[in-house]
Amino acid sequence: MINLPKQKLLILFDGVCNLCNSSVQYVIKHDKRNNFVFAALQGDLGQEIIKKHEKDLKQLDSILLYIPEKGIFYKSTAALKIAYHLGFPNRLLTVFFIIPEVIRNWAYDFIAKRRYKWFGKNEFCMTPSPELKDRFL
């Protein structure tokens, strides 16, 4: 069973990806309502959620959003839903929902496939600072 803190949305991210880690840091900085908690895809919780929702990690290797009542969102849809929950001005990015998902995901995949080459990769997952430790599962 997946136990999340009440009323929280879970962002699953590639813990060794520099772009993904930077994205998590951005969300933390702009999450004024403290909506999000985080876990690495490579960790036990990330693997449990992926298996529960029958998703293949090879297809879902960057940022995912898990909303307990609604399920798992990935690729551009996850990014836009995260932006929505960050509030203004990030919420304005949801205008991109008018673009068909197949086109949004093509652009997302283009960047995702090159993220290690462009932004680098760590050998180990990010370790949160003591003040942020309670936001990481």
- Spell out the SS3 assignment of the chain: CCCCCCCCEEEEECCCEHHHHHHHHHHHHHCCCCCEEEEECCCHHHHHHHHHCCCCCCCCCCCEEEECCCEEEEHHHHHHHHHHHHCCCHHHHHHHHHCCHHHHHHHHHHHHHHHHHHHCECCCCCCCCHHHHHHEC
Domain annotation covers residue 93: yes
Domain annotation covers residue 134: no
Domain annotation covers residue 133: no
Domain annotation covers residue 116: yes
Give the range of the structural domain holding residue 107, as residue numbers without chain letter. 9-125
Q: How far is CA 99 from the centre of its chain?
A: 20
Domain annotation covers residue 99: yes
Token pair in block for residue 95: 């205008």
Q: How many domains does the chain have?
A: 1
Q: CB of 66 within 8 A of CB of 12?
A: yes
Token pair in block for residue 30: 């702009």
Domain annotation covers residue 82: yes
pLDDT at residue 52, as a whole number: 74
Domain annotation covers residue 2: no
pLDDT higher than 80, residue 88: yes
pLDDT at residue 5, as a whole number: 75
Query: Could you report the per-residue pLDDT of 4-53, keeping only the tens digit for each?
Result: 777 889 999 887 778 888 888 899 999 999 999 998 887 888 878 777 76
pLDDT at residue 107, as a whole number: 92
Question: What is the torsional sign of CA 75, 4, 30, 117?
Answer: negative
